[in-house]
Chains A and B, each alone.
Chain A
Amino acid sequence: MTPPQMRFAPRLPGAAASSRALLRVVRRDRLAAVCMTLLALVVLVAVFAPLIAPHSPTEVNLSSAYLGPSLEHPLGTDASGRDILSRVIFGARASLLGPLGVIALALALGVSIALVAAWFGGWVDTGLSAVIDVLFAFPGLLLAIIAVAVFGVGLTAPMLAIGIAYTPIMARIVRSSALRERALPYIAATTVLGLPARRILWRHLLPNVWPLIVAQSTVMFGYATIDLAAISFLGLGQQPPSSDWGLMVAEGRPAILAGHSAEALYPGIVLVLVVLCVMVLGRRLGDRDDRQLPRR
């Protein structure tokens, strides 16, 4: 027989359920399908960037700066003669990693705080809510700027800061949803059955707030992408020669003056498209969830 600890080991809560929900959304909805495909493509491109990119994103060739589109350079080259397509492709890594980190942090912190607060209630809830309140006093971008002031430029500090800034939002949403869920008799029933708190939290409460979390995370991913791009734009995020899309837009901006808009244009378009798709998917997931819950 499996030891008791093993039996209550947390499975990935609702992962199957939410991927199923995603599939359902995609099957019914052409726009969502298009977005999904696009995002999948971007992720694939990011993962296999070295295989896909025709050139190295950092390979400078000063004699071939500002080339127009050609077979060799489908999107042309930038001020240093680097291949813009390759930079955009590698930029997917730099640009998606940050938001992923943000979401991971906001999820881990926010969901734990929320579940613990909702479950234990009383002074635990009061204390954690106070923490959430204080965190809530800092808009994401501002916290990121402070983090840069303290820890210096780069990806890590703004990413952590925005993750922390998103934590209270996630925590509030999850907490209220968990409180609502917690008040329902099925949770009471599991308590009366004698299930340990850990199991109730992981196997019953979390899976039921999970769709909301997924929808929220998706939308947050969109915002995190924009916020991190803004930080890069301000020169406080990733630094040259990174191919972060926000940074590329910022770097490419002066070249527009001289009529070379490609370096700013393409990463800008990809950035907007990715955010757009993520937002559309997030909203659809949220909608979907409402319809799916039993009518009460």
Chain B
Amino acid sequence: GGGSSSTSTSSSSSPAASPFHPAGVNVTPTTPPASSTVAQVVWDEPYGEPASLDPLKSYALPENTVLSNACDALLRTGPDLKLQPGLASSWTHPTPTTWVFKIRPGVRFWDGHPLTVGDVLYSLNRHLNPKLGTFYTAWVADIKSIAQSGPSEVTLTTKVPDVIVAQMMASGLGTVIEKAYAEAKGAAYGTASGGIMCSGPFQFKSWQTGSQITLTRNPGYWDPSLQPKVQTLIFKFITDATTLTNALAAGAIDGTYEVPIQGIARLGGAGKMYYGLSTNQGILQPIQKTGLSANAKVREALSMVIDRTGIAHTVFQGLAVPELAAVPPDSFSYATQRYQQWYLGVGTPTTPNVAAARKLVEEAGNPKSAMTIGIQQGDSQSAAVATAIQSAAKSIGLNMQVKALPTAQYVELIFSEKARAGIDWTTGNNNYIDQAEPLQVLYYWGRSNSPYNLDGFAEKEVDSLFAQARAQAEPEQRAALAVRALQLWVKPVNNIPLYIYPERLFMNKRITGAPSSFSTFLYYPWAAELGGT
């Protein structure tokens, strides 16, 4: 890596307006360090209960929020969103298609068994076994093999030269579990009754489905800098904004990421809000290859007329800013200047330009047919955003409907053409990228053969630039290629950027220390930093 992040760690007066972070919001990737131990901390999972604690099936917020504290991966995503060594004490990139990870010695699982290369190989290769059904299918497609290459060395071989897949060793893809335990449990591994066996700073104690997951301090954690200060860590699953706010205000819950915006005003007396970096973003994603939403003029007109400032101010009560290109700028962890320069130059308007948009719609032939935005049921923020888009579309004579889909149907949109029928756009809170690597945007939505590329965007040049970029280990050069590809991708408006917001973290008066960045709380043992004030 290289370059500096776009954040200011100074916590002086409220920072001035910036295109990356809201005015008056002090973005700090870390919070004041904990100074004492605490017997118990109750944390909330605002997106609900994990479905599983098996890394194979943990590719969403609830699962990884817990798992990152229990199970070590080869790498970690630090508070500054940069990769850090985890179970791999170091890693090298000897050839364009190989990555060699040196496995840290002396690490023990909670049950005292030493963590061996065998466990690493077992864990990583589970993803390659199609019968086990990993959720990381798209990534696995690029992996050729994972094999032992020395006494404490593992080599990852990719099919094409690729730097970004190695970064994913900080995610569930690189998480190591105990082979003997997992084999004994079979399909029950990672379930509430089957439990898990890892080496992380907190060990799994119990999972009462519907109610809570309890972790306890792992006294023998290998990392001296991350010795947990919290004896018992309990995760609750309150999703309702009102209930969560009340519980935080009353002290029944000690802290949470993704604090409900409306409740922040209520929390003043109970503790402190922190704002961190985030690789999350709000976009309006076209998901049909044909129809109005595939019409470049319509897309551009729509992008032009959306009141991004209004959305940021009203829906997010000033805790978001307009996004200028569909790449979250906090992901510019290297070659920051180059990326930022490009980002600011894309020229997406932040306030509606109705006249110009009208003209575009006219040029498109004043289409009368309706389009539909699919949102996830119960996601009130996206509902508000979609309503605002609907209203904006109406102002330029476009007929836009909003349809709330049950969670199951909503997630199905991505891989089922049948589920997509009748839905032209979607917007939601799940368009984050996993690592601070802008290339991931192209990986998901820009390359023509990505399973997430639903509107059939296919540009040979973008594909070729992307292939070159992912092969390029040198950051500045990678960034140069990436920017060229991104520029080609955003030109005929693709994913319509809407908003970006810093991660919102709340901790009550008792506790402090948790890093505040998005994807850090997914891929870093954040709770090990937690402790008393």
Contacts and interface: CB of A to CB of B under 8 A. Distances in A.
Direct contact of A and B (CB under 8 A): yes
Interface of A: 58-63, 65, 79-81, 152-153, 235-236, 239-241, 251, 253-259
Contact of A62 (B242, B266, B313): B313
B195 interface: no
Given A152-B406, A152-B409, A241 B390 contact: yes
B241 A254 contact: yes
Given A58-B387, A62-B310, A65-B314, A254 B260 contact: yes
A74 to B, nearest CB: 21
Interface stretch (B181-189, B358-366, B376-384): B376-384
A235 B377 contact: yes
A235 B378 contact: yes
B256 interface: no
B263 A251 contact: no
B307 interface: yes
Given A257-B241, A259-B265, 15 more contacts: A58-B387, A62-B314, A63-B310, A80-B387, A80-B391, A152-B409, A236-B377, A240-B380, A240-B386, A240-B387, A241-B383, A254-B262, A255-B262, A257-B260, A258-B264
Given A80-B384, A255-B262, A257-B265, A241 B402 contact: yes
Nearest to A81: B314
Contacts, number: 87
A239 B314 contact: no
Given A254-B262, A258-B262, A79 B314 contact: yes
19 contacts: A58-B390, A58-B391, A60-B387, A60-B392, A62-B307, A62-B310, A62-B311, A62-B313, A62-B315, A63-B310, A79-B314, A79-B315, A80-B391, A152-B409, A153-B404, A235-B404, A239-B403, A241-B390, A257-B266
A65 B384 CA distance: 11
A79 to B, nearest CB: 6
A239 B404 contact: yes
A256 B241 CA distance: 11
Contact of B377 (A239, A254, A259): A239
Nearest to A253: B242
Contact of B387 (A241, A253, A254): A241
Contacts of B377: 153, 235-236, 239
Contacts of A241: 383, 386-387, 390, 402
A28 to B, nearest CB: 45
B245 interface: yes
Contacts of A153: 377, 404-406
Contacts of A59: 391
Given A62-B311, A253-B242, A258 B390 contact: no
A65 B316 CA distance: 12
A257 B245 contact: yes
B400 to A, nearest CB: 10
B326 to A, nearest CB: 21
Given A59-B391, A60-B391, A239-B402, A254 B314 contact: no
B488 interface: no
Contacts of A62: 307, 310-311, 313-315, 388
Interface centre among A59, A61, A63, A79 (most CB of B within 10 A): A79
Interface centre among B266, B314, B315 (most CB of A within 10 A): B314
A155 B265 CA distance: 35
